[in-house]
Amino acid sequence: MSHSGTLPHESWKLRGKCVASFIYGIISIVLFWMPTVSIVLSIVAIASALKVMRGIRNSSNEIKGRGMARAGLVCGIAALLLIALRALYWASQSLDG
């Protein structure tokens, strides 16, 4: 048992969620041209990254993976921005005729 009371299997769970958040974020960027799928994956990436970062903070930063969770958060936000830019581009194209 670690100093903050975090069990080793909880540490591995959080590390797995860090990786999952990053993977969801990357997939949401790659699939930004499929807005429904990408929006869902982006929201999952952002939510899981925030949850994991909170868990790491509560463990007194004893658990590794904050960087991976932060990368998942950034990728999720980037995918949402790409979707918004794509929607604006399509809207401007439809107004032009």
Structural domain spans, the chain: 8-90
pLDDT at 65: 83
pLDDT at 63: 76
Query: In Å, what is the CA distance from 1 to each residue of 18, 27, 60, 63, 92?
Result: 21, 35, 14, 12, 58
Angle at 29 between CA 34 and CA 67, to 5 degrees: 150
Task: Report how far residue 85's alpha carbon sits from residue 13's, in angstroms, rounded to the nearest whole number.
Answer: 35
pLDDT at 83: 95
Q: What are phi and psi of 63, to 5 degrees?
A: -95, 135
pTM assigned to the model: 0.82
pLDDT at 26: 97
Q: What are phi and psi of 58, to 5 degrees?
A: -70, -20
8 — pLDDT class (breaks 50, 70, 90): low
Q: What's the token pair of residue 39?
A: 């929006």
User: What would the pLDDT profile of 24-81 be if each residue is shown by its tens digit?
Assistant: 999 999 998 899 999 999 999 999 999 999 988 887 767 788 899 999 999 999 999 9
**pLDDT at residue 1 tops 60:** no
Task: Report how far residue 97's alpha carbon sits from residue 27's, in angstroms, rounded to the nearest whole number.
Answer: 33
